[in-house]
Amino acid sequence: MKFVGKILLSLLVILLALVIVLYLLLQTRWGASWLSRTVSQHSSYQLAVGKLEHNFSAPSHLILHDVSFGHKTRPATLVAKSVDLGLSAGQFSRPLHFASVLLNQGTLRITSKTSQLPLSAARLQLSEMAVSSHHDMLPLDAQHVNGGVMPWQPEATSFIGNNASFQFSAGSLTFKDIPARNVLIEGRIRSKQLELSNMGADVARGSVTASAQRDEQGSWQVSTLRLNNLRLQSSKTLAEFLQPLLMLPAVHFERVDVTDARLEGQNWAVTDLNLALKNITLRDGDWESEDGSLSMNASSFVNGALLLNDPIVNMTFSPQGAALTQFSSRWVNGLIRASGNWTRSDKKLTLDDVVIAGLEYTLPPAWRAFWLSRLPAWLHAVEVTKLNVSHNLIIDIDPDFPFQLTSLDGNGSNLLLARDREWGIWGGNLSFNAAEATFNRVDLRHPSLALTADSNAINVTEMSAFPRSGLLEGLATVSQQPQRAFSLSLHGRETPLNLLQDWGWPAVPLTENGELTLKMQGSLAKDAPLKPSVNGSLSAVAGDKSVQQTVQAGNLGSR
């Protein structure tokens, strides 16, 4: 028995010696190299370890130095200066589940393959790591990342797992091409539901804070979103800048606050923007709201040639549509003010009260093309219940037919200015007058016009002006049918008989003042020229002299 005991003791000593030797060898570069080769040869992963370290002062921790790990034939998933593996008694039953994993000073690439790692831990910690994620719920690139996940149980669809709490900070982060600094993210995942309880970052020289949730279907609910003192510059047009809002999954905003923001892009800018948006959902390029509101003001807003100073907008939202409770702005040295509502059922904008005062406005070169263009799909009709225009200067510098109206006043009621997505005067009453006007180099004093419109025709019931001498009066009718057939009659008393020459009529061989009568018919169809459609006659009388001129299909003659 003593002999057997000695043999067992000797075997135990030898085994212990082998363990000690193996323990010491593994902590050499040769041991680290052997471990790397063994894992790489007997698995689908590629592992490289520079050195292993274990200290009896911390017996439950195994430290790997200069680590590179990832799937074969792919870029390394993890490159780290050190990886600290926390060991526990459960290691014997679950060797790839650790009490803790600490990644220090390296790079972590999160992909669909990364999420399928066989590793897990009660706690995953990152220290001064760079993280690149193009697969997970939040695609991002981040530097100087610190934080952790508890527990860490990666799954095929999520590197973090589907039941974990997390907290991360980053010195810098880029999320969907948006750079940020000093980032903090706290939240948790429960059964594929993501909750971001606290988010904060420095963005565009300002700050952003938010809290939000995402459900299993991918819909977001943003409880709070605050953007303060942003100074954002973009190379995009305004439409391109706002396009991502139309591409979002379903998002419900409980409250969005923007304070003192300055945004600038290609041919647009807004300064000192303050905005409060409540209870609105964006879905499939449209919006929904039960009881939402928008309050917005800015020092200035520029979009192309449009410049608004001190614009103020207040709106409320409901399932029926949107109510514009207040819109006002200073524009081209004047003031515009409006209120009204947009109804979803018929996509109609009804403005209850529109005031335009003191403008000094030069029409853009393409204003005629804009008038003939179709409205967007969300706007089928525009009606102005009450219009008041006062003391405006309107100028058109079109070289073919320039005009100017000085001190323009007017009013209108029940004006239907758009129907079936087409601009026009489809209904209502309108009248205006000016102190002075010039139409293609012809000066007029006190021009005035009044009209009524319905679905059949526009009837000009009063039209008058004072040229350099005498009085000019007229009537007109324009059909609402696509051909836009019109008739015009003008009568002048003691007016220059060649008055109409600069307006396209042939010269009259009489220079005196006298009486003239013009009767003309034609078509204002938008896709056809005017001249071939014109038929008319002009009678000019000065004392015992008279001239008769006729037009047939745009061809001018006299007799």
Q: Give the model confidence (pLDDT) of 298-309 as tens digits.
A: 999 999 989 999
| Predicted local distance difference test score (pLDDT) of residue 116 | 67
Q: Which residues pair with 384 in a beta bridge?
A: 351, 415
Looking at residue 401, what DSSP letter applies?
A: S
Q: Are 323 and 310 in contact (CB under 8 A)?
A: no
Q: Are 149 and 160 in contact (CB under 8 A)?
A: yes
Q: How far is CA 62 from CA 5, 56, 105, 559, in A?
A: 35, 10, 17, 113
Per residue in 66-113, pLDDT (tens digit) is 988 888 878 888 899 999 988 887 777 788 888 999 999 999 988 766
| Predicted local distance difference test score (pLDDT) of residue 218 | 84
Q: Are 88 and 101 in contact (CB under 8 A)?
A: no
User: pTM of the entire structure?
Assistant: 0.83
Instruction: Please name which of 246, 330, 264, 334 lies closest in space to residue 303, comparing C-alpha atoms.
Output: 264
Helix (H) or strand (E) holding 212: strand 206-214
| Tally of CB atoms within 10 A around 311 | 19
| Predicted local distance difference test score (pLDDT) of residue 10 | 55
Distance CA 143, CA 421 (A): 51
What 3 state SS string does 415-472 have?
A: EEEEECCEEEEEEEEEEEECCEEEECCEEEEEEEEEEEECCCEEEEEEEEEECCCCEE
Tally DSSP H helices, then E strands, for the chain: 4, 36
CA angle 290, 292, 298 (to 5 degrees): 160
Say which residue the tokens 């679905």 belong to: 455
| Predicted local distance difference test score (pLDDT) of residue 500 | 87
Q: Are 283 and 252 in contact (CB under 8 A)?
A: no
Residue type, 348: K
| Predicted local distance difference test score (pLDDT) of residue 558 | 47
Distance CA 188, CA 184 (A): 14
Distance CA 338, CA 329 (A): 10
Instruction: Please name which of 271, 264, 257, 316 lies closest in space to residue 289, comparing C-alpha atoms.
Output: 316
Task: List the chain residues with pLDDT less than 70.
Answer: 1-32, 56-58, 112-116, 135-138, 556-559
| Predicted local distance difference test score (pLDDT) of residue 133 | 83
**Positive or negative torsion for Cα 142, 145, 150, 151:** positive
Burial of 24 (0-12, 13-18, 19+ CB in 10 A): exposed
Distance CA 413, CA 224 (A): 43
